[in-house]
Amino acid sequence: MIPAADTNLARESATSAGPFRRVLVAWDGSPDSVTALRTAAAIVGRSPGHVVALSVQAATPHQEAANDQQEQLSAYLRRVEAAFGVTRESIARSSSLRIDLHTSESPSHRGLDL
């Protein structure tokens, strides 16, 4: 007697065997996030896909005394965006993959962890 194939297992492996079409990566411009972005690009591979790097920033302060924090935040955002641009250009030399940076403000951050 030969056991019947598990149809649920066959269906599950068929759906997970294909390439990923969209990958989300946390981005803060650090060496670890550069590695994560490169890894995400490799996961998507040569298929027509999209890698989204997401950078979550502290909310903009609304107090007069917060000008220094605002300047720090602006400098931090420039560094994050510059590191992303360099990394994306490096990946683009060998891939036509679409890679975008999205930023979002987090109202729950009270201070800057710069």
Residue 85 covered by a domain: yes
Residue from 49, 74, 52 nearest 61 by CA: 74
Distance between terminal CA atoms of the chain?
66
Identify the helix (H) or strand (E) that includes residue 2. none
Residue 65 covered by a domain: yes
Residue 3 covered by a domain: no
pTM, rounded to two decimals: 0.67
pLDDT on residue 38: 95
Residue 112 covered by a domain: no
Instruction: Determine the structural domain holding residue 64 and report its residue range.
Output: 20-106
CATH of the domain at 50: 3.40.50.620
Residue 12 covered by a domain: no
Residue 25 covered by a domain: yes
- How many domains does the chain divide into? 1
CA dist 83 and 91 (Å) reads 12
What is the number of alpha carbons within 13 Å of residue 106 lying toward its C-beta?
A: 12
What does the block give as tokens for 74?
């602006």
Phi first, then psi: what are they for 7, rounded to 5°?
Answer: -70, -30
pLDDT in tens, the chain (114 residues): 444 444 444 343 333 334 678 999 999 999 999 999 999 999 988 778 899 999 988 776 566 556 666 677 778 888 999 999 999 999 999 888 899 999 888 766 554 454
